[in-house]
Amino acid sequence: MTTILIRNGRVIDPSCGKDAIADLFIEDGQIVGTPSLSPSTIIDAAGLWVVPGLIDVHVHLREPGAEHKETIETGTAAAAAGGFTTVIAMPNTTPCADNPDVLKMVMEKAASLGGTRVIQSCAITVGRRGEQVVDMAAIKKETGVFVFTDDGDGVESDAVMEDALCRAVPLCAILSQHSEFARISKKAALHEGEVSAVLKLAGQPVASEYEMVARDIALVKKTGGRLHVSHISSAEAIDAVRRAREEGLPVTAEVTPHHLHLTDDTVGEAGTMAKVAPPLRPLHHVEACRAALADGTIDVIATDHAPHTIADKAGSMEKASFGMVGLEIAVPMILALVKDNVLTPSRMIDAMSCAPARIFGIPGGTLAPGAAADITLIDPDDPFDIDPRTFRSKGINTPFAGYHATGRAVCTIVGGRIIYRTGRAAQTPGS
Q: Which residues are catalytic?
A: 304
Least separation in angstroms between residue 277's CB and Zn ion is 6
In which element (H, E) is residue 13 found? Answer: strand 3-13
Least separation in angstroms between residue 393's CB and Zn ion is 18
Q: From its phi and psi, is residue 270 left (phi > 0), alpha (psi between -120 and 50) or beta? A: alpha
* β-pairing verdict for 41-44 and 3-13: parallel
Least separation in angstroms between residue 424's CB and Zn ion is 35
Nearer to Zn ion, 146 or 322 (CB): 322
Q: Which residues pair with 11 in a beta bridge?
A: 20, 50
Nearer to Zn ion, 151 or 254 (CB): 151
The residues binding Zn ion (CB under 5 A) are 151, 178
Q: From its phi and psi, is residue 294 left (phi > 0), alpha (psi between -120 and 50) or beta? A: alpha
Q: How many CA atoms lie within 13 A of 385 on its CB side?
A: 4
108 secondary structure, DSSP code: H
Other CB atoms within 10 Å distance of the CB of residue 283: 10
Least separation in angstroms between residue 176's CB and Zn ion is 9
Least separation in angstroms between residue 230's CB and Zn ion is 5
Residue whose C-beta lies closest to Zn ion: 178
Nearer to Zn ion, 98 or 151 (CB): 151
Nearer to Zn ion, 178 or 358 (CB): 178
Nearer to Zn ion, 151 or 374 (CB): 151
DSSP string, 127-184: GG-SSSB--HHHHHHHH---EE--TTS----HHHHHHHHHHHHHHT-EEEE----HHH
Q: How many CA atoms lie within 13 A of 187 on its CB side?
A: 9
